[in-house]
Structure 1
Amino acid sequence: MHARTRIALGAAGALAAAGILAGCGEAGSSGAEAPQAAATGAGCAPVAGDQLVVLEDDQKLQNTDNIVPAVNADAATPELIAALDKVSAALDTERLIQLNRAVDVDRQTPAVAAEEFAAANGLTDGIATGPGGELTVGAANFSESETLGELYRIVLTAAGYDVTVQQIGNRELYEPALESGEIQVVPEYAATMADFINNKIEGADATPISSPDLDETMSGLRRVGEQVGIVFGEPSAAQDQNAFAVTSEFAEQYGVRTLSELAEKCSGAATVLGGPPECPQRPKCQQGLEEVYDFRAGEFSSLDAGGPQTKTALTTGEISVGLVFSSDGELAAG
């Protein structure tokens, strides 16, 4: 999994993982920690396997972090927005997983993976030519963002622009550059960007404007974006957000495909939840599983944020369920 600085663990869907918080309870064996609340059932012991499956978030714990083009208002011509919307129309989460797999597993460059995707999906077909000129597409410092930036480069080039993709870093760096016009376009994540801009305007303790409802999230995002000179194209169906995965063998053995089924069948002492150290206290991780689904794990194992530690612990049968990112190239559809 590519390294990320964005993970929906904090309140309001703020995806930058902040300081490491102490886990709840006393440390157990093998890095496992005592559960936040008592689990009374037998639970579901880990089951090793080669393939990971994301459980459906059927009660909408996570917010709508759909990929959406963000554009400096002064650069936002109708032709530019229409070209970027071609990318949004072609993307869903499964296709995003395949793009990430091409880069992170098959080791293609983001540019090559984007060119192949664009050709296979006719992204440049029928694109209207805009006024032209130079554009810089900013990308965050993880491979998914770079690949999306290359897709934007392809369609904007077809629309008559001279386009450069520039990796800038995290949102704290590229969002001001987008506001000022130093860069003109960035691939963004709707819920995260909505709360980021809102917090910038209203302060860190602002009431969240992101929502599990995409229309509500986009309405809030467009409203705050207008205040800072950023407009947004159409959101794609593709999402990159917190998700919870099990092995295919676990899903088959226990008959679990959704988080509601996980809570119903697997709350109990044998179930081990794995995730980053701050997971037990965060509303989009263990705390949210308990509050929204009434899921009670028997143990919590402190690992990483959707990275190799968590995925290895799943495949080797050390944890029952683990926090991952929904567009990880190593995942299969649930």
Structure 2
Amino acid sequence: MRSRRIVLTLTAVAMAGALAACGQAGSSGSGNGGGTASGKAGCAPVQGTDLVALTDDKKLQNSDNVIPAINEKAASPALVAALDKVSAALDSPTLIALNKQVDVERKTSQAAATGFVADKKLTDGLQKGSGAIVVGAANFAESQTLGEIYAQVLKAAGFSTSVKTVGNREAYLPALEKGELQVVPEYAATLTEFLSKGKATPDIDKTVAALTPLGKAKGLAFGKPAAATDQNAFAVTTAFAQKNGVKTLSDFAAKCSGQATILGGPPECKERPFCAPGLQKTYKLSYGSFTTLDSAGPLSKQALKAGKVSIALVLSSDGSLTTTS
């Protein structure tokens, strides 16, 4: 489980007491999912080697777009422009591909970053800046890769850069506020909720509008958010998607509500508003049973591939996902 992620994002009232539980894996096994699938056929699991995340077309999840967080004193026009250029080139399929290189193909974060920067020509036409910039990264691969990308582009813009892996948000955010770090790759909704619970929304513009004054009060500024997100998502096998003709969660709810459908996720998924209850409320999804797995981890992906569950909770930037169904 990635240290930065609150996989099952909570409402404002419930979030504080549940952070630890969201990171704990559940034991395998099936149980009553609390769905309303009586009389409907549903869609049985389909084995497959490839996974695809279904589009959250009704915006159940909050907008956890990648966004550069900057110590306000370091936020020169040249630095912000360089980071904005990175954001403009970073969409979700690209982030999945970067994570695949590191998590699946076992490249280093530095090597994956170098290839991305060269492929997107991110060092061309940059404003020139100067000074020492320490880019902070959290202790998981995606953050470290993003940190390497930021550092390489800023170096091309004339800054003297280094990357420092700091740990979790509780460690790196104070360092960023104090100026011990100058830049950190962040996630818009998660940081907004960290600073003030209940302020994040599924709309990235509204989330950034809420985040900006919260950050300013801490001495922080922000670059533009990327299109790329790392947030809760629900995946099926590509074989399942093709057999049942589903690309979105609305498709899934319309075609697969019913007794044969098995939902997989961590044990708390059955109570959390952005997991099973959210699927039921926002998409009117019903399912026959629930299988207890881990929090968007290897057990969930293996259960999908083995045909044990029809749909399961994953992270939208997981390197094992395909970008087409």
The match for 2:35 is 37
The match for 2:222 is 232
The match for 1:205 is none
The match for 1:108 is 107
CA distance in 2, matches of 1:194, 1:177: 18
Tell me, yes or no, if the aligned pair for 1:48 and 1:247 is still in contact at 8 Å: yes
CA distance in 2, matches of 1:256, 1:160: 48
Bigger mean CA deviation after superposition, 108-117 or 155-164: 155-164
Instruction: Give per-residue Cα distances to partners, 1:87-145, cap 9 Å, x unaligned.
Output: 10110000111111111111100000000110111011011111x22211111111000
Instruction: Give per-residue Cα distances to partners, 1:269-296, cap 9 Å, x unaligned.
Output: 1111111121111111111101111111
The match for 2:63 is 64
Unmatched tracts of structure 1, length 5 or more? 22-26, 200-207
Going from structure 1 to structure 2, the CA distance change for 1:137 and 1:293 (only over 3 Å counts) comes to same
User: Percent same amino acid at aligned positions?
Assistant: 53
Q: Which runs of 4+ in 1 moved over 4 A?
A: 12-17
Q: What is the aligned length?
A: 318
TM-score with structure 1 length normalisation?
Answer: 0.91
Q: Is 1:311 equivalent to 2:312 in the alignment? A: no
Q: Deviation of residue 268 (structure 1)?
A: 1.4
Equivalent residue letter for 2:81: A
Q: Is 1:147 equivalent to 2:145 in the alignment? A: yes
TM-score with structure 2 length normalisation?
Answer: 0.93
Going from structure 1 to structure 2, the CA distance change for 1:66 and 1:295 (only over 3 Å counts) comes to same
Q: Deviation of residue 172 (structure 1)?
A: 1.2
Show the 5 A alignment for 1:137-216: 137-199=135-197, 208-216=198-206
Q: Deviation of residue 42 (structure 1)?
A: 1.6
Q: Is 1:55 equivalent to 2:45 in the alignment? A: no
Q: Deviation of residue 30 (structure 1)?
A: 5.6
The match for 2:78 is 79
Equivalent residue letter for 2:147: G
CA distance in 2, matches of 1:243, 1:293: 14
Q: Is 1:248 equivalent to 2:246 in the alignment? A: no
Bigger mean CA deviation after superposition, 37-46 or 11-20: 11-20
Instruction: Give per-residue Cα distances to partners, 1:47-95, cap 9 Å, x unaligned.
Output: 0011111111111101111101000111111111111111101100001
Going from structure 1 to structure 2, the CA distance change for 1:234 and 1:15 (only over 3 Å counts) comes to farther
Q: Deviation of residue 252 (structure 1)?
A: 1.5
Q: Deviation of residue 5 (structure 1)?
A: 3.8
Bigger mean CA deviation after superposition, 176-185 or 90-99: 176-185
RMSD of aligned C-alpha atoms? 1.9
Unmatched tracts of structure 2, length 5 or more? none
SS in 2 for 1:20: helix
